[in-house]
Chain A
Amino acid sequence: MGGAPFSRREAMRRSIYGSAGLLLMEPIGIQAAPRATTIAKDGKAKSVIQIWLWGGPCHIDTFDPKPEAGREFTGALDQTLETNVSGIRIGQLMPQLAKCADKYSLIRSMTHGNNGHETAAYLVQTGRASERDVFPGLGAVVSYFKGYDAGYKGLIPPYVVLTQPQGRFSEAGFLGPRYKPFATGGDPARTPFAVEGIVTPDISEEHQKERRKLMGSLNTLGGALPGNATLKTVVESEQQAYELILGDAGKLFDLSQEKDEMRDRYGRNTFGQSCLMARRLVEKGVPFITINYQGWDTHKQHFQIMNRKLPELDQGLAALLADLSEHGLLESTIVWCTGEFGRTPKVANESPWNGGRHHFGKCFSSLLAGGGFKGGQVLGKSNATGEEVAERPVYPADVIGSIYGQLGIPADAPLPHPLGTPTLVVPGKEEKVPMGGLLKELI
């Protein structure tokens, strides 16, 4: 991928304003891509929650521990936990996940070999490494096959990101802005959760209503043009917007409607409450939700940061799996937890890192649960130090293609490539995308 047109990290830090507009994305407003005739069928899975560990978590501190490899690999985290599935052990900081290993499977042989944040993220989000054109990420593809074009009617957009967008090469690519995610902004752990465009903390509901009234009575042009079709569209659009601002649709984001015990169970932090929010979105039928969980790029102070973050991840994710299961939603909801790569198994103890880990795309782990995927399994294997894939390499395209399959999107469903190049959701042989095969072992 050398020389591919990828940006500096700065360029990825996009402001999120404007994404409020992605709420209510109706067929009007932004043109749909030309529709393929293949319409996705109903699959076992109806929704996907993608937990994106931005920056890349270390596989051997989490889902692929190597206590035998010695301290130069394990650092201080040299213990493991037995799970409720015999033969599966995970990292010592994840006791809650250890109690529910029957609900998820682990892939310990993820690989793509790329160590750049943007390029690796692009690979893991799209399954492809194309330099010629920008492919859409899986959220946008799901939005294309399961969103408004496929009869989705929700006021909440079909592809939601909690809370910040993942950046330029993890989005809609050549499908165009209509399939971009709606990034909520705000923080679900704060009251109120200031969802961009919907919840405005410094304008009270009363004030919103007064303003709306004022706006209506000042519409002098509307008065001069009664019955004008263009202005009718404006009024209808406005009504829908207010459904979110003042109506019931927007209440979905009001987490105070959940019992305190429920909120505590997930953990009163941004990640935990994002998991709870994701469950509420799934209940409403939103087909794709990404939790963009930042802060995993630990070149320095790796172990201090893990001691802080892994308990959050453990609690939030375990609560999400249990809660989905109790609501009868786990069978129809895929949960995929992954970073763009792993981190170097050997700890960088030298200065200036003093106990850090670097990027590692050669071998890493992902967690996959629900939506018809089996639980309690381990797929693939890394070597004794976690530096090489030892068995059954799994490439991003394998996971993404399998997720499509569970959603009822056939592997040969065409994507509308702007040059008319025949392009399928799962790369065909002629694309020469490295693949290890769809995850039949977990289906």
Chain B
Amino acid sequence: MKKALTFLLLALTPAIAAEAPVYDLGPPVAKIGAELKPHERIDELVLTQLTELGLKPANLSSDAVFVRRAFLTVIGTLPTEQEARGFAAAKQPDKRAQLIEILLQRPEFTDFWAMKFGDILRVKAEFPIKLWPNAVQAYHRFIHTSVRENKPLHLFTRQLLLANGSNFREGEVNFYRAMQDRSPKGIAATVALTFMGERADKWPVKKLEAMSGFFAQVAFKSTAEWKEEIVYFDPTADKDGLTKHAMMPDGLAVNIKTGLEDPRAIFSEWLLRPENPWFSKNWANRIWGWLMGRGIVHEPDDFRADNLPSNPALLAFLEKEFATSKCDLRHLFRIILNSQVFQLSSVPVQDTAAAVAHFAHYPLRRLEAEVLIDALNQITATKETYSSPIPEPFTFIPENVRGIALADGSITSSFLELFGRPPRDTGYDSERNQSTSPPQRLHLLNSSHVLGKIKECPLVTEADGGDHDLNKLADKIYHTLLARAPTTQEIETLKAHMTATYSSGSSLAADIVWALINQPEFYFNH
């Protein structure tokens, strides 16, 4: 495997503006038949439905679009100039599948998905979650390790649900601490949201009360150690006698032997049975939503009788794949990423809500705040300084830490806030905001922050003068920022600008870098 993948490391001589289609290739082809691979089954399920609905799928994305999309979606990282060139030049027919394998093993994969899990698991030191720094580190480490080891998600979930011990030493116990309302009802509502994708505030009151019986014997106590807290099973904690009336969300009544068994174990056993209709569906839908920009049930954490999946057969298939693969996160990634559906262009045939809901083209998504700042830093070779304002103990954050690797939701910056980093207060998927606003545009257009980065950018400082180098300069900047070569028309535009402003060298390079940073093609995943 390794040897075939060297194409990512090749530095190639710049090609001069090829006139291949910039964004898309030909139409996707659905294979039909019994012997389909999982990713082909996804294509069949989506493309068949589109045909039934009279919708046409977009064309397949070009290599340049694919390489950028794969990097940004799978590892939250912009491909470098060399990676983009290497992929474009590689001749292997299965190079997309090979790239996907590489990305699934990259260290940034772990950082990025630990970040996404951190959002829904509310990893945050300060108000209103108040885990405190030591516990944040332990919790984040648990999540990070689980993602790196590709721990099956049912095992991961069981460890969170059955956690006991010190918040500093058993990272997973922080699941019970990372919520604003730690009453049995509050815990039950959090469990429903996180692992069942349902919002308990839309349930009948009785249903939540019955489920809270499984969490009425979770107790918390502090120790002599500053901010240390022990989470443990304590049969006497149930002051309101909730355990007696415990009932599963599907109405299954249980008889819990008080003091002899931890009710959480009984709940977890019910939740994690392979045939449980909630657990696999929730993760399959969330993962699809993360990769495709939209859940099959949308919002991905709002399963309700009156909020139907846009493609029930697809959801059922993914759910089955998830369960039979033993809740393997990377397996689900692999089959979705290898599908033509993931690889469709974002240029729609019909730009309608129905086309979006049924995945007829890839949606435009503004880059996540952390991904965007990392991308800006990568192309300009600059750094961001993050500091922890939370005392006792102060968290030291190394200078070169990337936004996607920040463990703590309390450690933030005005840039991250402006670009919609989730506050991690509730665990709702919708906390992350990826819309575009005037203040964001102003920031990229004209803030001292971004202009300062452009000034320091090696593409700018190392640009040599003379218009005979414009092709070379543009080719380098385009590959670094947009992972593709400039088109002849773009080169013409640049020539005209150069003539109009008499600029060359650094000042011309600064103009080009600035103009590209401000293209939706740069700050969107498309």
Contact = CB atoms under 8 A, between A and B. Distances in A.
**Are A and B genuine complex partners?**
yes
Contacts of B413: 18
Contact of A11 (B387, B433, B497): B387
10 contacts: A5-B391, A17-B449, A20-B448, A21-B439, A21-B442, A26-B439, A31-B433, A197-B447, A217-B493, A245-B445
Interface in B468-526: 487, 489-490, 493-494, 497, 500-501, 511-512, 514-516, 518-521, 524, 526
B347 A224 contact: yes
Contacts of A7: 389-391
A241 B519 CA distance: 15
A233 B366 CA distance: 12
Interface in A140-194: 168, 174, 176-177, 180, 185, 194
Contact of B439 (A23, A134, A219, A245): A23
B203 interface: no
B362 to A, nearest CB: 12
A21 B518 contact: no
A419 interface: yes
Nearest to A11: B389
Nearest to A239: B438
Contacts of B388: 11
A116 to B, nearest CB: 12
A29 B418 CA distance: 8
A241 B447 contact: no
Given A24-B438, A227-B351, 13 more contacts: A5-B127, A10-B387, A20-B439, A20-B443, A21-B418, A26-B437, A214-B497, A218-B516, A224-B22, A224-B347, A228-B364, A234-B441, A241-B445
B448 A29 contact: no
Interface in B341-356: 346-348, 351
Residue among B435, B436, B446, B500 with the highest chain A CB neighbour number at 10 A: B446
Q: Which interface class (under 10, 10 to 19, 20 to 34, 35 or more) fits B?
A: 35 or more
A23 B435 CA distance: 16
A437 interface: no
Q: Which of B487, B493, B500 has most A Cβ within 10 Å?
A: B493
Given A185-B448, A200-B451, A245-B446, A238 B490 contact: no
Interface string A17-42: 11111111110111100000000000
Contact of A233 (B435, B448, B514): B435
B521 A220 contact: yes
A222 interface: yes
Contacts, number: 204
A42 B105 CA distance: 60
A17 B512 CA distance: 22
Interface of A: 5-8, 10-12, 14-26, 28-31, 132-134, 168, 174, 176-177, 180, 185, 194, 196-198, 200, 203, 207, 210-211, 213-215, 217-222, 224-225, 227-231, 233-234, 236-238, 240-242, 244-245, 418-419
A25 B437 contact: yes
Among A19, A227, A241: residue with most chain B CB under 10 A: A241
B518 A215 contact: yes
A133 B128 contact: yes
B420 interface: yes
Contacts of B497: 210, 213-214
Interface string B424-461: 01000000010111111111011111011000000000
B299 interface: no
Instruction: Give me the 5 closest cross-chain CB pairs, A-B, nearest first.
Output: A29-B437, A18-B414, A17-B449, A24-B438, A21-B439
Contact of A21 (B443, B501, B512, B515): B443
Contact of A8 (B181, B391, B418, B494): B391
Nearest to A245: B446
A387 B181 CA distance: 44
A235 B82 CA distance: 32
Contacts of A210: 497, 500-501, 511
A203 to B, nearest CB: 8
Contacts of B364: 225, 228, 230-231
Interface in B288-347: 346-347
Contacts of B447: 17-18, 20-21, 196-197
Contact of A214 (B351, B389, B448, B515): B515
Contact of B128 (A196, A242, A245, A418): A418
Nearest to B21: A224
Tell which of A185, A225, A233 has the most Cβ of chain B within 10 Å: A225
A174 B128 contact: yes
A227 B349 CA distance: 12
B417 interface: yes
Nearest to B423: A176
Contacts of B117: none
Contacts of B489: 220
A423 to B, nearest CB: 13
A134 B519 contact: no
B180 to A, nearest CB: 6
Contacts of A132: 127
Nearest to B364: A230
Interface in B44-76: none
A132 B500 CA distance: 60
B261 to A, nearest CB: 32
A24 B438 CA distance: 6
Contacts of A176: 423
Contacts of A214: 493-494, 497, 511-512, 515
B520 A234 contact: yes
Contacts of A8: 391, 394
A237 B443 contact: no
A24 B390 contact: no
Given A214-B497, A241-B445, A17 B415 contact: yes
Nearest to A167: B389
Given A18-B418, A29-B440, A215 B347 contact: no
A302 B371 CA distance: 48
B22 A197 contact: no
B228 interface: no
Contacts of B394: 8
A31 B432 CA distance: 10
Contact of B23 (A31, A215, A224, A245): A224
A168 to B, nearest CB: 6
Given A198-B446, A233-B436, A234-B441, A211 B23 contact: no
Contacts of B128: 133, 174, 418-419
A133 B392 CA distance: 17
Given A197-B447, A200-B446, A224-B22, A133 B127 contact: yes
A25 B439 contact: yes
B490 A20 contact: no
B467 interface: no
B238 interface: no
A222 B441 contact: no
A220 B441 contact: no
Contacts of B490: 218, 220
A118 B485 CA distance: 52
Nearest to B345: A224
Contacts of A14: 414
Contacts of B417: 18, 30, 177, 180
B391 A225 contact: no
A214 B435 CA distance: 24
A241 B445 CA distance: 8
Given A20-B442, A176-B423, A224-B23, A168 B389 contact: yes
A224 B65 CA distance: 13
Contact of B442 (A194, A236, A245): A245
A419 B451 CA distance: 40
A5 B394 CA distance: 11
A25 B441 CA distance: 11
A241 B435 contact: no
